[in-house]
């Protein structure tokens, strides 16, 4: 492969070029109800080239290695045409030339287990779930992804690196008196496979919640003070703030660039938000991004003040800010885009008990159920919640979605507990076409919002 790519950027027809080639192994096991729907070890390979020429950029994916040079020439030609249309030249931030080989170190490697062993593990959880009262259906999924990547650029960088992770997710359906409710369960292994085994008690705990949801009432729409648990607060900071810290989202939006200047007060001084790919054992851990840059810890909000941003070389040049190493592609056919590595809210100084005691009438909302961001507007779901009355947890509620606007919502974070927790499973969707990234982690302690817009009937 390296021989075939040798000299691909030995041309004077481009200002900058880089290429990433991937050999990817994926294991998937899907079980629905009592049936195995999908079980396979698959292999794929492909590459992606980026060409910068006369201030314009063209990128392309190919599946055949023999097509790499042809793809490069096509991109050079089209970028030339693009440069005639380009008004403001696209520049890249100067970066270090890196030659390195770095591979994941793992004690309990998921690749050492057979397909049958993995199937047996997922079947065990599935059968346990199906035995429980009111459970009518299950969807369990095991995914393991190993990507061996080779990056070269026209400046002389040459990096070999990899990504390894696996997880088990389950969606469990329960039905009672015509009401169907679902509950998700997820176990993550980044990369230690041992994290996925002996999780029966965790699974039964989630099913117990599901059974209670069948009798819970939908939440009443309105604006309330809320406490959100770490699993949900982590999704909240990812959706509500994290995406707007990705510089490619705001690069060409003058209003956001104006609003999101360093030094802007984003929240109370108790709020510090960090992105850090250096945290081993988390979904978003890596040394190099897919643009050949070192992943770095970035304090996005420090003591309530906007302090950092996630960058590519292109956006770092455009904003005249520091590189952060956050350009990532989920698979060989995709171009890298700016992604959060592990975003989290730093611990506060309050206790969870103090958060509860501060609320007369409100809600305690738990666990993320997906979210979406559009500009500064966000929506995310909570799997379940409890009404709070005079500081005490009362009856369970369901069908909970929260929406809001970034800037006012962050100002509403009034208390942060001291129990930081990282979600086991990574996940984020971004881009067009959508790139679903399992290597994006989130974390948070319990937090309190003085008011939040909760949807419902």
Partner 1 sequence: MKSIKNLKNRFEQKEYLKKKIDKLKINIENWDLQDITQENLTASSLRVIKDGKLGSNTTLGESVKVKKNLIDGAEESADYGEETDLVFSKESMDKLDPVVRENYEKADAEKIFAFITEVSDYIKNKNEDIVLNLNLNKRYEKIKIDTDNKGDLKEELVNFHFDFGAPIPGGGSTLYRSFNQEKMFDEIPKAEIDEFLAEYENTYEISTPETAKMDVLFSPRSLYFFFISLQAGISGRTIFQGTSPLMNKLDKKIFSDKINVNDKPQMKNAAGRRSFDDEGIPTSQKEIINKGLLKNYIFDLEYANKMGEKPTGNGLKRTLFGEGINTPVSPNFVNPVLEPGDKSKKDLLNSMDEGILVESVIGFHSSNYEQGHFSVQAQGFHVKNGKLQGRLQDVMIAGNIYEDFEEIKGVGDEIYPNMKGYAPYLLVNNVSVTGK
CB-nearer residue toward partner 1: 323 or 332? 332
| DSSP code string of 40-103 | EEEEEEEEEEEEEETTEEEEEEES-GGGHHHHHHHHHHHHHHHHHH-SS----------EEEE-
Residues 274, 376, 397, 428: which binds partner 1 (CB under 8 A)?
376
276 or 314, CB closer to partner 1? 314
Burial category of 361 from C-beta neighbours within 10 Å (exposed 0-12, middle 13-18, buried 19 and up): exposed
Q: What would the x/- binding string for partner 1 be over residues 17 to 36, using CB under 8 A? A: ---------x-x-x-xx-xx
Q: Is 186 in the site for partner 1 (CB under 8 A)?
A: no
Does 41 help bind partner 1 (rule: CB under 8 A)?
yes
Longest dimension (CA), the chain: 72
Residue 40 in contact with partner 1, rule: CB under 8 A: yes
259 interacts with partner 1 by CB under 8 A: yes
Which of residues 259 and 393 has its CB atom nearest to partner 1 in the complex? 259
Interacting positions 409-428 with partner 1 (CB under 8 A): none
DSSP letters spanning 274-285: EE-TT-TTSTT-
Interactions with partner 1, residue window 64-93 (CB under 8 A): 64-65, 67, 71, 74-75, 78-79, 81-82, 84-88
DSSP state of 324: -
Q: Would you tell me how many other CB atoms lie within 10 Å of the CB of residue 71?
A: 21
Q: Which of 11, 13, 16, 44 binds partner 1 (CB under 8 A)?
A: 44
Q: Which two tokens stand for residue 134?
A: 């009111």
**Distance, first Cα to last Cα, the chain:** 58
Determine if 377 is a binding residue for partner 1 (CB under 8 A). yes
- Closer of 60 and 292 to partner 1 (Cβ): 60
Q: Which of 98, 115, 130, 197 binds partner 1 (CB under 8 A)?
A: 115
Q: Which two tokens stand for residue 311?
A: 């960058």
Cβ closest to partner 1, residue 84 vs residue 198: 84
**Residue 308 interacting with partner 1 (CB under 8 A):** no
Residues 6+ apart with CB under 8 A from 199: 125, 168, 187
Nearer Cβ to partner 1, position 58 or 203? 58
Which of 136, 261, 390, 394 touches partner 1 by CB under 8 A? 136
- Select from 231, 238, 241, 175 the least CA-distant residue to 383: 231
Give the residue, chosen from 11, 16, 54, 59, that forms a contact with partner 1 under the rule CB under 8 A. 59
Residue count of the chain: 457
Please report, for residues 153, 165, 201, 306, 313, the alpha-carbon distance to residue 293 in angstroms, rounded to integers and kept in the order given: 11, 21, 41, 23, 9
Residues 199-238 touching partner 1, rule: CB under 8 A, are: 221-222
Minimum distance of partner 1 from residue 28's CB (angstroms): 8
- Near partner 1 by CB under 8 A: residue from 13, 214, 302, 375: 375
């Amino acid at each position: 492969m390296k021989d075939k790519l040798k000299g691909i950027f030995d041309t004077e027809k481009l200002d900058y070029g880089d290429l990433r080639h991937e050999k990817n192994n994926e294991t998937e096991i899907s079980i629905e109800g009592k049936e195995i729907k999908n079980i396979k070890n698959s292999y794929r390979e492909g590459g992606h080239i980026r060409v910068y020429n006369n201030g314009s950029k063209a990128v392309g994916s190919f599946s055949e290695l023999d097509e790499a040079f042809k793809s490069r020439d096509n991109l050079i030609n089209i970028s030339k045409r693009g440069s005639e249309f380009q008004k403001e030249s696209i520049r890249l931030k100067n970066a270090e030339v890196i030659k390195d080989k770095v591979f994941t170190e793992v004690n309990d490697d998921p690749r050492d287990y057979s397909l049958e062993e993995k199937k047996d593990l997922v079947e065990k959880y599935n059968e346990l779930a199906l035995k429980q009262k009111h459970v009518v259906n299950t969807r369990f999924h095991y995914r393991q992804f190993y990507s061996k990547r080779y990056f070269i650029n026209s400046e002389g960088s040459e990096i070999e690196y990899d990504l390894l992770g696996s997880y088990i997710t389950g969606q469990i359906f329960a039905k009672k008196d015509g009401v169907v409710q679902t509950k998700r369960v997820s176990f993550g292994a980044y990369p230690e496979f041992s994290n996925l085994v002996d999780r029966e008690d965790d699974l039964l705990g989630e099913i117990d919640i599901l059974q209670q949801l069948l009798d819970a009432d939908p939440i009443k729409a309105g604006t309330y003070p809320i406490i959100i648990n770490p699993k949900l607060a982590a999704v909240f900071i990812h959706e509500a703030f994290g995406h707007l810290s990705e510089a490619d989202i705001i690069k060409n939006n003058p209003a956001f660039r104006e609003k999101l200047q360093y030094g802007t007060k984003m929240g109370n001084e108790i709020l510090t938000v960090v992105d850090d790919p250096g945290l081993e054992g988390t979904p978003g851990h890596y040394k190099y991004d897919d643009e050949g840059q070192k992943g770095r810890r970035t304090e996005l909000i420090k003591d309530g003040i906007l302090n950092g941003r996630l960058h590519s070389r292109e956006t770092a040049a455009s904003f005249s800010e520091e590189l952060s190493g956050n350009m990532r592609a989920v698979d060989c056919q995709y171009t890298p885009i700016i992604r959060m590595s592990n975003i989290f809210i730093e611990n506060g100084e309050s206790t969870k008990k103090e958060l509860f005691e501060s609320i007369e009438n409100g809600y305690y909302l738990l666990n993320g159920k997906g979210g979406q961001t559009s500009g500064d507007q966000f929506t995310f779901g909570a799997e379940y919640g409890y009404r709070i009355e005079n500081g005490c947890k009362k009856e369970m509620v369901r069908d909970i979605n929260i929406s809001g606007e970034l800037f006012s919502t962050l100002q509403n974070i009034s208390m942060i507990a001291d129990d930081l927790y990282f979600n086991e499973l990574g996940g984020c969707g971004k881009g067009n076409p959508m790139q679903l990234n399992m290597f994006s982690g989130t974390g948070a302690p319990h937090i309190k919002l003085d008011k939040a817009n909760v949807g419902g009937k």
